[in-house]
Amino acid sequence: MKVSGSTVLVTGANRGLGASLVAELLRQGAAKVYAAARRPESVTAGDPRVTALALDVTDQASIDAAAEAAPDVTLLVNNAGVLGFGDVLDGDLELFERDMRTNYFGALRTARAFVPALRAAPDGAAIVNVLTLIALAPVPPMAGYSASKAAAHSMTQALRAGLKGDGIEVIGAYPGGIDTGMLAGVDADKADPEVVAARIVAGIDAGDQVIWPDDASAGAGSVYLDDPIRLERMLAG
């Protein structure tokens, strides 16, 4: 779908990749952007096309209220996410459950709530789920997070099948490490969130169903497409 002229809702829009996505969507001509955040007062985008909206993706009442307040959305970007560190054998299961509640159920609940608006969009619509390369094979110290994103990857595929024929594109974006608060203190190669946002928005405009929005994910993505077990071994190492 075309970003120019679209009405977008971005979850987790107050900081990190979400804030960069809002800026890039505006640059590429979005007509209106609902910048959704748990604390809407923390949204800083100073553009008249931006409306800050309260949305906690783990709270069904909050999601329903946001869907009612934003009935004209044509492009939904499920970006909000959390990362709890922990190994598969001894990581804190509370964190595993929190990641699943936010990254899987949060994105699923939000998608469900906005499907009626997206179905009604006259010129087509799209859902973009911000996943991660490690949805496709886990990084062992991030086992719960990887699982939650693997579930969200599966949900993305299921939505694509479920919405076939409804005029709603379903897009998965699979970044590698990004230089945001989520990876603060982690020593790793990290892409600039502005670059990642620009590639995601360009992918939406190009009609891509799968977006590798940085060089690291593009390289690892081609390994995955060629030999999924090789990616698993790479990330396990």
Ligand X SMILES: NC(=O)c1ccc[n+]([C@@H]2O[C@H](COP(=O)([O-])OP(=O)(O)OC[C@H]3O[C@@H](n4cnc5c(N)ncnc54)[C@H](OP(=O)(O)O)[C@@H]3O)[C@@H](O)[C@H]2O)c1
- Which residues would be at the binding site for ligand X (CB under 6 A)? 11-12, 14-18, 37-39, 55-58, 79-82, 102, 106, 130, 132, 175, 177-178, 180-183
Return d(Cα 47, Cα 63) in angstroms, integer: 24
CB closer to ligand X out of 121 and 136: 136
Nearer to ligand X, 84 or 106 (CB): 106
Q: Output the six-digit token pair for 82.
A: 């959390």
210-211 vs 168-173, strand pairing mode? parallel
175 close to 133: Cβ distance less than 8 angstroms: yes
Scanning the structure block, which residue is given the tokens 């993505």?
A: 221
Q: Which is nearer to ligand X, 73 or 130 (CB)?
A: 130
Angle subtended at Cα 184 by Cα 104 and Cα 22, rounded to the nearest 5 degrees: 60
Q: How far apart are CB 94 and ligand X at their closest, in Å?
A: 15
Torsion of Cα atoms, 208 then 213 then 215 then 217, to 10°: -90
User: Radius of gyration of the chain from Cα atoms?
Assistant: 17
Q: How far is the CB of 56 from ligand X (least distance, A)?
A: 4
Nearer to ligand X, 6 or 78 (CB): 78
- Label residue 191 exposed, middle or buried (CB < 10 Å: 0-12, 13-18, 19+): buried
Token pair recorded at residue 158: 């299921």
Report the residue closest to ligand X, judged by CB: 16
* In the complex, minimum distance from the CB of residue 28 to ligand X, in angstroms, rounded to a whole number: 19
Of 106 and 118, the one with the shorter C-beta distance to ligand X is: 106
